Chains A and B, each alone.
Chain A
Amino acid sequence: MRFKLLTMFAAALFLSACASNSDNNADGSNDGSSATTGTTDQSSSVSSSSIQGPQPGTLEHLVVNVGDRVFFGYDQSDLQAEGQKTTEALAVWMNSYPAVTLTVEGHADERGTREYNLALGERRANSVRDYLVALGVNPNRVQVVSYGKERPTVLGSTEEAWAQNRRAVFVVN
């Protein structure tokens, strides 16, 4: 039970931080079913959140099991090692839910010009798409769009904020 509590705690962390820790990897998709075996003699909050775990194939489910974003270096659009792992997990997840289609949104930090950053975000989103297709995902299931520097997720003009804003985000359609 101690193990289970930790798993739930980790899931909550994923949700709140919206981070892409891909150590919750490929076989995380059966996490939901094993969680339902939780006993009732633990605290009520644990068992209730176990039952209400995200429905498989939804964005919430993706966030918990894969993460919903990858990050990029300054003026870069190649997937880094961490981003590759996340995208690999995403490919497995998509193959588990063949009805799901995805939009990958590319974003940039504020330290660039508007038009170039739109192009850069589009290139970042396509890095994810290209890798998904290389991993066997049907190209028709993945759309891309870029919002350049116009939709930051972390506020402030700091290196930390910029690093979090140089991202591609997966959105389940």
Chain B
Amino acid sequence: MLIKATRGLLIAVVGVLGIAVGSFPVQAEINVSITEGFVEPLPIAIADFNGGQPEEQLIGRDISEVISGNLERTGLFKPIDNKAFIQDVRSLSTGVRFGDWRLINAQALVSGKAALLGDGRLQVEFRLFDVYGEVMLEGRKLTAPKTAWRRMSHQISDYIYTELTGEKGYFDTRIVYVSETGPQNRRQRRLAIMDQDGFNHKFLTNGRWDVFTPRFSPTSQEVTYLSFEGNVPKVKLLDIPSGREETLGNFKGMSFAPRFSPDGNSVVMSLADRGNTEIYTMDLRTRKFSRLTNHPAIDTSPSYSPDGSKVVFNSDRGGSQQLYVMDINGGNVKRISFNKGRYATPVWSPRGDLIAFTRLSGRKFYIGVMKPDGSGERMLAEGYHVEGPTWSPNGRVLSYFKQGKSDSRGKVKSKVYTVDLSGYNEREVVTPLDGVDPAWSPLLQ
């Protein structure tokens, strides 16, 4: 699919943090393809944002660095080295000399300004230009507390990404994951949260008990995850701002593999009893469980379709671990994976068009995607051990973890990665320690 940025623009809208400064209808020439194999990244010039005072200049430079990093990591854009710029960026506020930017082969140009207001807030303006069309594609003014400058940078990145690709952005998001350290048999595991670019890292649990598979609520600042507290695996719910946590469900056995429904009102999970693992949903308001599967096989790793009408899961009812889709009442079960190997951890894309999964075949693990009817299967990443994909909220990027072999003393390395749907742009998300089980948040409110 080729996404064109040939769109008539925009009405002035009051944004989350500020207001639009206005924009004009244009026919831009810039096309950025997101899913079509390897693409030559689009050269883009991102000027340091201007500022009057030294502090404003510093913030302005940091903001353009964050934007640059975000766009570069998509693999769709190639920020041009500042040293190649011909026009002095301080003169951009009085007019863009498009010829100067064409000379260094910039297709798009971002300029901006940072100003500290009297009340301590920060006001950031940015403008995005089509260098060859010689038009402004987007321009906005954002205002927020000074401490929110990173979020403002991510939001500006989202505006730019959306304008040039036609897709929703995913930079103003966070990733919750399990931070790991230590040898295999004494691995300390803590829930941790960070911005999607790895900044603002924070631990959420103390590491006394093992924790796994956190998943974000689509509607609140809550995370559901698996805890081994008291040496019994149980699904928990954690409210991030308050730190309040509770165990979901009051029953004797194990529960695991939790995931929120798209409306945030239920959690679907597995309960294991007498050698049989089945899938249940729990209504978070009534705390009532309803059973979805009824089969002596292992049924686990459930994930809702974005419209809430279906659940994809993995089961070994056919003899080996494969993917199945069922209606939300448990009926109409259909197998969708048929290639060689075992299939696991299916996750429905927020767009509804694809299901991501882990596949074990031969001596390797893969991260792949297929359509909900099982067709169009392709692999995006592979390794000795890759597992547990999670979707960016726009359904264009996957995050997952990679783990290496461990040595005889249990030394092992695990890291969080992202890859886009082209499969050509795999990147490590740098974390302070090792990391597994990433889960992407929705776009922040």
Contact = CB atoms under 8 A, between A and B. Distances in A.
Interface of A: 75, 77, 110-116, 118-120, 122-123, 125-127, 129-130, 145-148, 150-153, 155-157
A157 B365 CA distance: 14
B321 to A, nearest CB: 6
B345 A147 contact: no
Contacts of A126: 274-275
Most buried by B among A116, A148, A153, A155: A116
A110 B405 CA distance: 10
Given A123-B298, A156-B410, A115 B213 contact: yes
A157 B407 CA distance: 7
Given A114-B437, A119-B270, A155 B406 contact: yes
B272 interface: yes
A150 B210 contact: yes
Closest 9 CB pairs of A and B: A126-B275, A155-B410, A157-B405, A119-B277, A113-B344, A119-B298, A122-B272, A115-B257, A156-B408
A118 B254 contact: yes
A145 B345 contact: no
Given A145-B233, A155-B408, A157-B405, A115 B228 contact: no
B184 interface: yes
A146 B233 contact: yes
A118 B272 contact: yes
Contacts of A156: 405-408, 410
A139 to B, nearest CB: 10
Contacts of B408: 155-156
B404 to A, nearest CB: 8
Contacts of B233: 118, 145-148
B144 to A, nearest CB: 38
A160 to B, nearest CB: 10
Given A118-B256, A118-B277, A150-B212, 11 more contacts: A75-B342, A113-B344, A113-B388, A116-B298, A116-B301, A116-B316, A123-B275, A123-B276, A127-B275, A146-B233, A157-B406
A115 B184 contact: no
Contacts of B384: 157
A112 B360 contact: yes
Contacts of A145: 231-233, 254
Contacts of B300: 115-116, 118-119
Interface string B171-190: 00000000000011100000
Contacts of A152: 184-185, 410
Nearest to A130: B275
14 contacts: A111-B385, A112-B342, A112-B360, A114-B388, A114-B437, A115-B270, A115-B300, A116-B298, A119-B277, A123-B276, A152-B410, A155-B185, A156-B407, A157-B384
B327 to A, nearest CB: 22
Contacts of B387: 113-114
Interface in B269-291: 270, 272, 274-277
Nearest to A156: B408
B231 A120 contact: no
B385 A110 contact: yes
B74 interface: no
A152 to B, nearest CB: 5
B344 A116 contact: yes
Nearest to B258: A115
Nearest to B189: A150
B314 interface: yes
B220 interface: no
A119 B314 CA distance: 11
B301 A155 contact: no
A116 B405 contact: no
Contacts of A120: 298
B82 interface: no
A54 to B, nearest CB: 23
Nearest to B273: A122
Contacts of B210: 150
Nearest to B298: A119
Contacts of B270: 115, 118-119
Interface string B318-329: 001100000000
B388 to A, nearest CB: 7
A126 B274 CA distance: 6
B361 to A, nearest CB: 12
B309 to A, nearest CB: 23
B213 A114 contact: yes
Contacts of B360: 111-113
